[in-house]
Chains A and B, each alone.
Chain A
């Protein structure tokens, strides 16, 4: 089963991403108000979903698993770190596509909107996490401090969100659902939107897996270097 998943994840991610592009660019009609600009709806919300919920959610869960002594393992640490790297990338893309959409819509590249601001703050926190990982050589120390930082960040997210939301709100309101949970968009647009969420989620899974494998290889190399160093030390001891 694992082998099957491993072999099919990449092709499925690629296929769904291509399908999303084809559907979003060629099949779906332009929006009656926003015109071609509305096609960004097949990218931007899915990127935000991956950045804010999927990636960072995975990082938080993995960090919590690392901190709990019963489930502590370096696998959890590597998963968390990989997920945060992907989260950082997607936060950047979310802000970029948001700016591209915002310029013609609002007339400016940036506004101090609640969601934009919260996302930007979270992006900077993710960069802080990556900086923290580079500042510690010892794998155990790095893992613990990163995990605590990730948990603190996760706890901060609602606090940041509410503070900025109360501060001001300009962001696009609910695009997909009305206030009474009725679907606002229909037909090919709705299906393409759904497909984009699936595609980006698969892209996320593939990226985290790829990054995890690199981290795993790095750890194996460190183990190998340690074995060599142990051999050298033991030779020093024998002579």
Chain B
């Protein structure tokens, strides 16, 4: 069953095409890794799948939500996002950020302590986010994925800014997501750990160049 279907989608910023006609179908329960040179459109494709970008041309749907309509807002509630930049509020602690996110989305607040423990942030759970390192801040976003348990995981270079322990943690979480039947789409510059089996999507110049298992 297709979890996402894109038909000749163009996404622009100003008059520059970030994505210049993407045709892509993603199957449910599969892991995909998007690779390509800098500026190829990897992050833009991920943001499109999250409902964070509006197609200028073409059509698409993700999890049954039309990307070209206000359904994008509803789509966002069903995806998990791990981005480059610091997520949530820098002045709040990991616990406060996760509690706010959980309470406003109806996620289970009781899962927060175990999620923070799983990502190794129990000892830093109550300090402001801005006091944490970049790697630790990313772990807060990972903890949120564990609390949210979305059907579709979208991760932008999840191994960046992480030490060996952090990378092992991300591998473990992706493997667990795969086992639970979630669809995982991630971008990466380098090779993935061996334990992660993924279908490769190569994007160049804003278009899909190749899809290979």
Residues of A near any B CB (own CB < 8 A): 69, 137-138, 140, 222, 225-226, 229-230, 233-238
Contacts and interface: CB of A to CB of B under 8 A. Distances in A.
A230 B21 contact: yes
Contacts of A238: 205
A138 B13 contact: yes
B190 interface: no
A164 B135 CA distance: 56
A226 B12 contact: yes
B145 interface: no
Q: Which of B10, B69, B70 has the largest number of chain A CB atoms within 10 A?
A: B10
A234 B20 CA distance: 7
Nearest to A229: B17
A229 B70 CA distance: 27
Interface of B: 10, 12-17, 20-21, 54, 56, 69-70, 204-207, 209
Nearest to B20: A233
Provide the main secondary structure of the chain B interface.
Answer: strand
B54 A230 contact: no
B211 to A, nearest CB: 14
Q: Which of A69, A222, A229, A238 has the largest number of chain B CB atoms within 10 A?
A: A229
A94 to B, nearest CB: 36
Contacts of B209: 237
A236 B14 contact: no
Contact of B20 (A140, A225, A237): A237
A234 B15 contact: no
Contacts of B54: 140
A235 B205 contact: yes
Nearest to B37: A236
A186 B55 CA distance: 60
The 10 closest A-B pairs by CB, nearest first: A237-B205, A236-B205, A233-B20, A237-B207, A233-B205, A225-B15, A237-B204, A230-B20, A233-B206, A137-B14
B70 A69 contact: yes
Q: Which of B17, B54, B69 has the largest number of chain A CB atoms within 10 A?
A: B17
A222 B56 CA distance: 12
Provide the main secondary structure of the chain A interface.
Answer: helix
Contacts of A234: 20-21, 205-207
A225 B14 CA distance: 10
B204 A226 contact: no
A238 B204 CA distance: 8
Contact of A222 (B15, B20, B204, B205): B15
Contacts of B207: 233-234, 237
Given A230-B10, A230-B17, A237-B20, 16 more contacts: A137-B14, A138-B14, A140-B54, A226-B10, A226-B12, A229-B15, A229-B17, A230-B20, A230-B21, A233-B17, A236-B204, A236-B205, A237-B204, A237-B206, A237-B209, A238-B205
A128 to B, nearest CB: 23
B144 to A, nearest CB: 27
A225 B15 CA distance: 7
A102 to B, nearest CB: 46
Contacts of B16: 229
A226 B17 contact: yes
B13 to A, nearest CB: 7
A237 B205 CA distance: 5
Nearest to A231: B20
Given A234-B20, A237-B20, A226 B205 contact: no
